[in-house]
Amino acid sequence: MRFSFISSIQEIPAAVWQALWCTRYPFIQHDFMALLETSGCVGGRSGWAPLHILVWQGDQLVAAMPGYSKTHSYGEYVFDWSWADAYGRHGLDYYPKWINAMPFTPATGPRLAIVPDVDAQGVMQTLKEAWQALVQQGIHSLHSLFPDASSLNKLPDTWHTRWGCQYHWFNNDYQNWQDFFAQCNSRKRKMMAKERQKVQALNLTISHKTAADLNRADWQAFYGLYQNTYAKRSGRSGYLTAEFFTGLQTVLPGQIHRVDVSRDAQLIASALYFSDATTLYGRYWGCSEEHDGLHFEACYYQGIELAIALGLKRFDPGAQGEHKIARGFTPIFTCSKHFLAHQGFHDAVGEFCREEHVGIERYIQSARQALPFKEGVGCAEPGVLQNAQ
């Protein structure tokens, strides 16, 4: 077996890439990754240089790890700024680093694909050689962010596991919103009902749309809302370009959904979702008007209704947000894997990850006590790490 690096997903035919993954997880799809490149979200001066690892057996592609060489830590959602600062205090360079991740996407999913009936040990040995080559070329650390269970189990034990927390909604065979609502206790039902009533009183039009319902002007309008909200929250521009959003017209048919909020036919807010065979992913939000409860309605409650309507098992609304717990989103573990070429820092990071895990485990156990469900209603185990389908 041999490895190779490619600096653009377009260097590999789409059909070859797709056959390797066998999943509808949206962010690993060839067209989606290519759109990130052609729209200028990655590559160029973005600090995200595509650097994907391929493993070959003869002329057959038998394994792959999507990856990027990074000169900063923005857009990753697994925060290692303190590690970079520690390197700097010791006169060492932390960057460039290599991350096995989907850009700007803290959504658990496949990070390593190996075709069935191939020598898996041979693949892992070849990948080890590829990682060593990266280090020899000046990469200071290797990271896999938000791997699903299958990918996590393939990654080396010598890479430290860092645990995090997100809040996901799980569909217990609900047929509609009322089925879910009925599983919540009285106090939390009153809270959610009051929040939804506030939005209803605004006399806004809320509609669910797919990419087939949207044209270029619709996506340009969304981009304006997205940038407006990003600037208000962070004081800087969003990572994604206008060309990325208009390009969504031609990728992932049937997997793109929007909840649009309009006043007199004028779009004032919108939430963008993606889906695969099991999961709804809440990804981007923007608005031009601030109203109490509108964000919860468009990004959480409408997302729950959409997940039920699509028959999906899980709704991943994105990173952070402790306020999601009271609205039925269960705290669960997420994870990442890390290897630092500097042995001393590698050992220190390992100790940090072990100590951090204890605190996160305590937090999750405590936070789950705030879930809105009636006594006796079951919920997903905190250690659940599903495989995208």
Looking at residue 55, its pLDDT comes to: 98
Q: What is the DSSP letter of 147?
A: B
Looking at residue 60, its pLDDT comes to: 95
φ, ψ at 77 (rounded to 5°) = 70, 10
Average pLDDT over residues 104-112: 97
The better pLDDT of the pair 19, 389 is held by: 19
Looking at residue 233, its pLDDT comes to: 76
Is residue 280 predicted with pLDDT exceeding 70?
yes
In angstroms, rounded to a whole number, what is the distance separating the alpha carbons of residues 103 and 106? Answer: 8
- Which CATH number applies to 2-165+333-370: 3.90.1150.10, 3.40.630.30, 3.60.20.10, 3.90.25.10? 3.40.630.30
Classify domain 172-312 by CATH number: 3.40.630.30
Task: Assess contact for 9 and 34: CB atoms under 8 A.
Answer: yes
Average pLDDT over residues 269-277: 97
CA dist 314 → 123, 171, 272, 306 (Å): 32, 6, 16, 11
* pTM confidence score: 0.95
In angstroms, rounded to a whole number, what is the distance separating the alpha carbons of residues 360 and 122? Answer: 35
Instruction: Tell the burial category of 348 from Cβ atoms under 10 Å away from its Cβ (0-12, 13-18, 19+).
Output: middle
Average pLDDT over residues 190-216: 95
CA dist 186 → 182, 183, 198 (Å): 9, 9, 18
**Domain regions of the chain by residue span:** 2-165+333-370, 172-312
In CATH terms, are 2-165+333-370 and 172-312 the same topology? yes
Is residue 389 predicted with pLDDT exceeding 60?
no
DSSP reduced 3-state for 29 = coil
Split at pLDDT 50, 70, 90, the class of 386 is: low
One-letter amino acid for residue 387 of the chain: N
Longest CA pairwise span in the chain (Å): 64
Listed residue (306, 269, 45) closest to 176, CA to CA: 306
Residue-wise pLDDT for 320-346, tens only, equals 889 999 999 999 999 999 999 999 999
Phi-psi category of residue 43: left, alpha or beta, with phi > 0 → left and psi -120 to 50 → alpha: left
The rounded mean pLDDT for the chain is: 95
Q: Which residue has the tokens 């695969």?
A: 276
